[in-house]
Amino acid sequence: MAAKKTANEDVFAFATVDPTKLTESYREFAEKGLVQSKEAYDKLKTAAEDATKTVEQTLESAQAGTVEISMKAIDAVRTNADNSLTHIEALLGVKSVAELVELQTGFMRKQAEAAVDQAKELHEAARKVADKVSKPGKDAYEKAAKNFQIG
């Protein structure tokens, strides 16, 4: 009777583990982890290199933009100084109060128009510089977001 197993004995019996299958499963798991780690490292390395290039491009754009805005500001100052000197020369030749008022009113109107035009030019230049400076960062973000999407 000892050779006959009951249903209760089978429930409590331990399954035998095949060590070769366990080793094989562990090896596959380790190899898969290694491949995934290498892929992640490569992505991070590429992202770091791209970030360095982005910073360099941003700094170059910022420097070029600063020069462009500075040149426009210098041009505006030069124009205003020339207009002021011309106006002073004209004031030296004034023969009446009416002529002085007319000359001064014309000068003020001309200066106000010039100031508006100069402000528009500086604003447009600053907007272009901001676009140039932010473009490498935007491009890098889009590339990084695309590279690190889960899918």
How many angstroms separate the CA atoms of 74 and 61, rounded? 20
Q: Quick one: average pLDDT of 144-148?
A: 74
pLDDT of residue 61 exceeding 90: no
How many of the other CB atoms lie within 10 Å of CB of 20?
8
Q: What is the pLDDT of residues 74-107, one digit of tens each?
A: 999 999 999 999 999 999 999 999 999 999 999 9
The pTM score is 0.60
In this prediction, residue 10 carries a pLDDT of 56
Picking from 112, 22, 128, the residue whose alpha carbon sits closest to that of residue 69 is 128
Q: CB-based contacts of 3: which residues, under 8 Å, 6+ apart?
A: none
Percent of the chain with pLDDT over 90: 42
Q: CB-based contacts of 51: which residues, under 8 Å, 6+ apart?
A: 140
Q: Categorize the per-residue pLDDT at 20 as very low, low, confident or very high, splitting at 50, 70 and 90.
A: confident
Q: Are 81 and 75 in contact (CB under 8 A)?
A: no
Percent of the chain with pLDDT over 70: 84
